């Protein structure tokens, strides 16, 4: 029975890589439905995403690709299917609500394993969609103690990515290290401008003419992880910072949705502190 796979390769660049990889597909009578490649010349790094269909065994195809690629190659052969996500939230509903609606309508391309929040505010919203909701309060706990309880809950679920849907808490290095390149955050600013708390107020005080939103992978550096998607909204002097905040919420949920679509369809490569997106 024919199968479809997404083949993702990143490695040191070398002469003839596209030919050698394509020949592996040709020799197995696989059809290339889509192919994109990019070379980061500054770091001599090669990236390639290919969608193939045909008769193949994953392990055999992977071995054949490894045989023609440089030794440092990171190669993935992925059979397309809905991935699993865990969502962390606090009180704001717009980003979470958008994800829930897309999930209910079959547009998300992922199964939501659960929603975990440090406030109980969003329980009713989440349970309307028959998604498990876990309230883990942070009161009377230091950050490490609270995170330990959150991680205990997270680790009871099988998931591919964790989505911070306006989870308004700074994560410790221990937490981030436990889920490398798995945590996706939506930040209410066009990064790298206005990092940290209340960027709309920062933007208002600076008199900017655009505000934005940024979805990025989380690293130990606050709001400085590899960027997946961004967008901007024009503003003017008539808007208060709260007006900017209200206007920005639409941008936040759209950017987060766009980023999730890219990640869930295996279109994102992390390249140092940047991304390559096909």
Residue 99, domain CATH? 3.40.50.170
Q: Which of 78, 95, 120 is the last residue of a domain?
A: 78
Q: Are residues 19 and 122 in the same domain?
A: no
Q: Are residues 107 and 190 in the same domain?
A: yes
Can you give the pLDDT at residue 195? 65
Q: Are residues 46 and 135 in the same domain?
A: no
Distance CA 176, CA 173 (A): 5
Q: Are residues 88 and 70 in the same domain?
A: no
Catalytic residues: 223
Can you give the pLDDT at residue 204? 73
Q: Are residues 23 and 71 in the same domain?
A: yes
Can you give the pLDDT at residue 221? 82
Q: Are residues 57 and 163 in the same domain?
A: no
Q: Domain containing 42 — which CATH number? A: 3.30.70.260
Q: Are residues 113 and 144 in the same domain?
A: yes
Q: Are residues 32 and 136 in the same domain?
A: no
Sheet containing 161-164: order of strands: 133-135, 110-117, 83-89, 161-164, 183-187, 210-217, 227-234
Q: Which of 49, 78, 107 is the last residue of a domain?
A: 78
* Spans of the chain, pLDDT less than 70: 189-197, 200, 203
Q: Phi and psi at residue 163, in whole multiples of 5°? A: -110, 125
Q: Are residues 65 and 141 in the same domain?
A: no
Count up the domains in the chain and report the number: 2
Distance CA 182, CA 265 (A): 14
Q: Which of 78, 94, 120 is the last residue of a domain?
A: 78
Distance CA 117, CA 133 (A): 8
Can you give the pLDDT at residue 239? 78
Can you give the pLDDT at residue 202? 74
Can you give the pLDDT at residue 1? 83
Q: Are residues 152 and 118 in the same domain?
A: yes
Full residue range of the structural domain in which residue 49 is found = 3-78
Can you give the pLDDT at residue 130? 97
Can you give the pLDDT at residue 9? 98
């Amino acid at each position: 029975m024919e199968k479809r796979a997404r083949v993702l390769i990143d490695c040191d660049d070398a002469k003839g890589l596209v030919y050698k990889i394509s020949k592996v597909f040709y020799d197995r009578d696989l059809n290339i439905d889509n192919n994109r490649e990019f070379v980061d010349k500054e770091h001599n790094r090669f990236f390639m995403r290919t969608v193939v269909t045909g008769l193949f065994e994953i392990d055999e195809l992977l071995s054949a690709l490894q045989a023609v690629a440089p030794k440092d190659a990171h190669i993935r052969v992925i059979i397309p299917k809905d991935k699993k996500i865990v969502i962390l939230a606090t009180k704001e509903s717009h980003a979470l609500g958008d994800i829930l609606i897309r999930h209910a309508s079959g547009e998300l391309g992922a199964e939501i394993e659960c929603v975990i929040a440090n406030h109980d505010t969003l329980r009713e919203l989440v349970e309307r969609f028959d998604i498990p909701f876990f309230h883990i309060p942070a009161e009377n706990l230091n950050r490490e103690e609270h995170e330990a309880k959150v991680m205990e809950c997270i680790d009871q679920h099988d998931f591919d990515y964790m989505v911070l849907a306006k989870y308004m808490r700074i994560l410790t290095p221990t937490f981030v290290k436990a889920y490398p390149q798995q945590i996706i955050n939506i930040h209410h600013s066009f990064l790298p401008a206005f990092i940290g708390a209340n960027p709309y107020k920062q933007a208002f005080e600076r008199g900017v003419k655009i505000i934005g939103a940024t979805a990025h992978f989380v690293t130990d550096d606050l709001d400085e992880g590899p960027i997946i998607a961004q967008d901007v909204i024009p503003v003017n002097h008539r808007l208060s910072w709260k007006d900017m905040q209200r206007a920005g919420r639409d941008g936040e949920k759209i950017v987060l949705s766009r980023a999730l679509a890219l990640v869930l369809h295996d279109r994102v490569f992390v390249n140092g502190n940047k991304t390559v997106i096909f």
